[in-house]
Amino acid sequence: MRFLEKFVINGGRPLHGEVRISGAKNAAVAILPAVLLSDGSCVIENLPDISDVSTILRTMQSLGAQIRMINRSTVEIDPRHVNSFVVSKKMAEGMRASSYFLGALLGRMLRARVAPPGGCDFGVRPIDQHIKGFEALGAKMTIENGMVDAKAMSLTGCLIYLDVVSVGATINIMLAAAKADGLTIIENAAREPHIVDLANFLNSMGANIMGAGTGVIKIRGVKHLSGADYSIIPDQIEAGTFMFAAAVTKGDVTVKNVIPKHLESITAKLLEIGCEVEEADDCIRVVASKPLQHTQVKTLPYPGFPTDMQPQITVALGLSKGTSIVTESIFENRFKYVDELTRMGANIKVEGNTAIIDGVSRYTGANISAPDLRAGAALVLAAMSAEGFSTVDDIRYIERGYEDFHLKLQGLGAQIELVETERDLQKFKLKIG
């Protein structure tokens, strides 16, 4: 019998060894649309080979850009023949970053029509701050037939205060303002590493952006942006996921090709719960030789603890001694995976945006489904620590943001396989014995 691809895992084995971290998903999905602002070809390196990136490249192709894959992680994009400003619902579905085409196309053509973003369901993902930013720059915004429409005679720099810290709105305003007339100031801007990466990329094309990584970003518009070669930063969340994989499986894992500064909030929590952490220039080693301890966590905008790491730390705290509390302050509806985790024996009670976790000594194998990207990865970690066999369905979510996830885990000694049929599943179980 054939079914959709799923992971099958035999848990209970500590992970050991080294793993190389890929380019940052959140930087890639902002930098690729930014290429549309250029007057020439751009070469983007260190791209992660994930479905979100291929969706964005297909979308750019549908707009008229010429795409040439140089190798698995490097692409050359020539945007000079872009002649469409429409990103259809079909293109936008399953991709949260589709909204970045609004800012990029508005900046390039003074016109954009984009379907609202898809991706993971975390409840309401308002784009009201994006719209507020575009209107302040001079665009007329309408929403009709399920499409967001933006048009402008011209874009003029201004002061924009974001009511809430929004990564998406900060990125979109930067894209639209890069070629606007005059000075744009974004106050209460997001400070995430991928915001800085986007600013560095735009500046390498000739933009004039200052203050990225702080709460105030200043963008002085320029007439032209030229082509550039650029390498994307390593993925902070992928690195954090493998760091917690060491904690959850009582392993010893070195993550390579990382920027330790970007991981400080994650490192701090691993130390709090009793892991050993060693840092070098571009790698971090996590050793979990002692029982895990309880702690309190609240997700916050960068440099706080990332919302994208909340499911991974919850899985770890589910195995810790005592009672932990995890508060989710960024996205509502981000605890949907807890039901799956309780099927594995976790003792977690969710009240609104808070999870109260009473640690258990172990998880047991179960058949579970990934409800979204990061929760899917976290459930794989839980399955790797669990006693017995687990299967994880809906892994398309995981493939949106992790390159070769199961292969990298295999490289650390995990017993995990991608299976498509019941027969494959049985073969795996027989092989493991």
Q: Minimal CA–CA distance to 171: which of 150, 193, 151? A: 193
Tell me the residue ranges of DSSP E strands in 53-174.
66-71, 74-78, 86-87, 111-114, 140-144, 147-151, 159-161
Phi, psi of 119 (to 5 degrees): 80, -150
Cα-based distances in Å from 88 to 34, 143, 368 = 18, 14, 33
- Provide the β-strand partners of residue 418: 7
- Provide the β-strand partners of residue 184: 219
Q: Minimal CA–CA distance to 23: which of 268, 259, 212? A: 259
Helix axes of 310-317 and 373-385: crossing angle, nearest 10 degrees: 20
Helix axes of 25-34 and 167-177: crossing angle, nearest 10 degrees: 20
Query: What CA dihedral angle connects 8, 14, 17 and 22, to 10 degrees?
Result: 50
Q: How far apart are CA 147 and CA 142, in angstroms?
A: 8
In this structure, which amino acid lies at residue 375?
A
Tokens (6 digits) for 199: 């600013």
Count CB-CB contacts under 10 A for residue 424.
Answer: 17
Catalytic residues: 120
Tokens (6 digits) for 164: 């809430």
In this structure, which amino acid lies at residue 224?
H
Burial of 289 (0-12, 13-18, 19+ CB in 10 A): exposed
Tokens (6 digits) for 177: 């303002």
Q: How far apart are CA 399 and CA 380, in angstroms?
A: 13
Tell me the residue ranges of DSSP E strands in 46-97.
66-71, 74-78, 86-87
Burial of 404 (0-12, 13-18, 19+ CB in 10 A): middle
